[in-house]
Amino acid sequence: MSPGNASPENLDLNSVPEAPRVVPAELRRRSLRGPAFWIGLAFAALGGLNAVIFVTVGAAAHLKLLMLNGIGLGGPFCVAGLVVLSIARSQGRRIVEAAQVGAPVIAQITSSQLDLRLRVNGKNPWRVAYTFEIDGRQVQGSQSTWNHEAGQKLTVGSRVIALPLPEDANVSCLYPWI
């Protein structure tokens, strides 16, 4: 079943493989290395490089102001980058976990459009938002894809399969993978 071909008549929760599922390498890579990962990595690397260079040169030249510049500017940038990197990796691992062990539920697409807030190499990702019900409460989820064809097939109102984590329904992904 491909995204967008899902209708109430042909959605079958039994079509989802039993957990633990094998997650495609592409979904794993996209989940673990999203934009926040790269931003965090850049801040950590540049901040760390700044700290090392300025502290080393300052110590060699006996210039305390240069050393303080490395510690005062490079250090916080490096720490902030490591925090962002850690959060991004943690969220990515949770999405992969949802793909592996999430319990399939029927979801409804509430939004499907280009995400104009993010632009990479002149392209915008397609963002799909969806809702599903767990234990009588509505839960919202969303997923981005660079595959515009798959995103365009998921129209508002169409029904799809979502895989929320059993212990935290706020973490989910769509099946089949987009």
**Per-residue pLDDT tens listing for the chain (178 residues):** 444 444 444 688 888 888 899 998 988 888 888 888 999 999 999 999 999 999 999 888 888 888 888 888 899 999 999 999 999 999 999 999 999 999 999 999 999 998 888 888 888 889 999 999 998 999 999 988 888 888 888 899 999 999 999 999 999 999 988 7
Instruction: Give yes or no for a contact between 109 and 130, defined as CB atoms under 8 angstroms apart.
Output: yes
CA angle 6, 164, 19 (to 5 degrees): 85
Bridge partners (DSSP) listed for residue 175: 161
* Beta-bridge partner residues of 131: 108, 140
In a domain, residue 3? The reply is no
pTM, to two decimals:
0.77
Residue 24 lies in a domain: no
**Is position 89 within any domain?**
yes
Nearest by Cα to 158 from 103, 106, 117, 90: 106
- Give the count of domains, the chain: 1
Q: Is residue 176 part of a domain?
A: no
Angstrom CA distances, 108 to 7, 45, 58, 86, 140, stand at: 10, 41, 59, 31, 10
Does residue 64 fall inside a structural domain? Answer: yes
Q: In what order do the strands lie in the sheet with 159-164?
A: 137-145, 126-134, 105-114, 159-164, 172-175
CB atoms inside a 10 Å sphere around CB 48 = 18
The answer to the question of residue 14 being in a domain is no
Answer yes or no: is 43 within a domain: yes
Domain that holds residue 73: 35-95
Q: Please, what is the average pLDDT of the chain? A: 88
Q: Is residue 72 part of a domain?
A: yes
